[in-house]
Amino acid sequence: MNYNKKSIEDIDVAGKRVLCRCDFNVPTKEGRITSDKRIVAAMPTIEYLVNKGAKVILCSHMGKPKGEWKPELSLKVVADRLSQLLGKEVIMASDVAGEDSKAKAAALKNGDVMLLENTRYIKGETKNDPELSKALADLADIFVNDAFGTAHRAHSSTAGVADYLPAVSGYLVQKEVSIMGKALANPERPFVAILGGAKVSDKLNVINNLLEKVDTLIIGGGMAYTFLAAQGYSVGKSLVDNEKLDYCKEMMAKAEAKGVKLLLPVDTAIAASFPSPIDAEIPVEYVDCTAIPADQMGLDIGPKACAEFAAAAKAAKTVVWNGPMGVFENPTLAKGTIAVAQALADSDAVTIVGGGDSAAACEQLGFANAITHISTGGGASLEFLEGLELPGIACLEDK
């Protein structure tokens, strides 16, 4: 996949109607936005377009209305918040690409901003329906994709519309593509990848793809126990993906053949059962991963593993991290995840954190500002690490 894509700065937007796909899938409670982080993240792109005299038409999905008009998933709350942030009224359309949108788009003046209703109110959106793509394209002269979180989806508003309009990236997508793209295509070495999370099956292709690129691959989290079991160790009641034992053996053989250092935890935090509720205080002890008792389960990496993983991260020039090292929602079992986040924050390397739980951990711990890049897309960043082509990026014009 070519990561060298045109951005909003490579195209003249003055006086043009610009359809900009954003990620306004924000959490709400009782009709109020509980975190406006995604709206704030879109502001640099929106402000650039406004300042350059574009007629800005924003669109996004929210939640999963599945083609039904659900008032609780209306983007009206987003329009209100955008109006506050921009210091000017954001015109709200009552439909997605219907008569109201057409009339309001036609009446826009330079520097005006309007927002379409939830794109997933229309059944054709998630099916990349050409009719919907064409109707959206008819509203504008240029398409800008600034929603990396949905770039792995071939939907009408993320990819289909680019069949009919010149398409470029906004600042958020540009940053994702340039930083993550360079890390995977031409990393500064040593290149270390740290993978965590519960199941091997969630990261099959990621592990396989990264072994082609990295100098060291570190595996923690629940999936480490499947690798340990594949090495012949007894892992007690720990989470094991029995169907993936052969796959783990193949990956360890591949690492050896390629000269990639594969690091598994040397010790682990164990307890008699999974915490319930998840944040309940539970007694844990630390044992070597070769000595997990039959009636215990591993729930986090231990202090020796923390030190070894941190040392590898600090010696690297590029580090990519995706997935927690243990049940990080539990304060007792978050130590491994905290240690990795701290190591990345302390590192002089280019540090990239894939979306989801790892990103949440860095933000909660206050390390976000010390990380080079925290991805805005969980599923999209995983597919990026798999080496897959992302439809919402592939559709953009090459430089």
Per-residue confidence band for 141, with pLDDT thresholds at 50, 70 and 90: very high
Q: Which of 16, 17, 21, 38 is catalytic?
A: 38
For residue 109, the cross-strand partners are none
The CATH label, of 3.30.1540.20, 3.90.226.10, 3.60.70.12, 3.40.50.1260, for the domain at 180-386 is 3.40.50.1260
CA dist., res. 130 & res. 136, Å (int): 10
The CA-based dihedral angle spanning residues 342, 178, 45, 344, taken in that order and rounded to the nearest 10 degrees: 0
Q: Are 92 and 76 in contact (CB under 8 A)?
A: yes
Q: Is the pLDDT of residue 355 over 80?
A: no
The CATH class for the domain spanning 8-171 reads alpha beta
Tokens at 8, concatenated:
């909003």
- 379 carries an active-site annotation: yes
38 assigned to active site: yes
**365 pLDDT band (50/70/90 cuts)?**
confident
Q: Which of 63, 98, 111, 379 is catalytic?
A: 379
Instruction: Specify the residue for token string 């951005």.
Output: 7
The predicted structure's pLDDT at residue 155: 98
Task: Look at phi and psi of residue 128 and say left if phi exceeds 0, alpha if psi is from -120 to 50, else beta.
Answer: left
- Among residues 70, 102, 199, 304, which one is catalytic? 199
Kindly report whether the global pTM for this prediction surpasses the value 0.85. Answer: yes
- Taking the alpha carbons at both ends of the chain, their separation in whole angstroms is 13
Provide the pLDDT confidence category of residue 1 given band limits of 50, 70 and 90: low
Instruction: Write down the pLDDT at residue 183.
Output: 86
Helix (H, G, I), strand (E, B) or coil at 161: helix
Lowest-confidence segment of 17-26, 75-84, 346-355 by average pLDDT: 346-355
| Span 69-113, pLDDT tens digits | 999 999 999 999 999 999 999 999 999 999 999 999 999 999 999
Q: Is 8-171's fold the same as 180-386's?
A: yes
Active site residue 199: yes
Average pLDDT over residues 175-196: 91
Q: Residue 256 CB: number of other CB atoms within 10 A?
A: 11
Write a three-state SS string for 245-281: HHHHHHHHHHHHHHCCEEECCCEEEEECCCCCCCCCC
Once rounded to an integer, what is the mean pLDDT over residues 128-156? 97
Mean predicted confidence (pLDDT) in 385-399 = 91
What integer is the mean pLDDT of 147-160? 95
Instruction: Residue 367: name the closest of 348, 336, 342, 349 by CA.
Output: 342
* Token pair for 244: 């993936």
| pLDDT value for 264 | 98
Integer Cα distance of 95 and 364 in angstroms? 37
| Mean pLDDT of the region 2-8 | 89
pLDDT for 163-182, tens place per residue?
999 999 999 999 988 888 88
Domain spans in the chain, listed from the N-terminal domain onward: 8-171, 180-386
Query: How confident is the model at residue 8, as a pLDDT?
Result: 98
Q: Is 326 a catalytic residue?
A: no
Residue of 196, 221, 356, 392 marked catalytic? 356
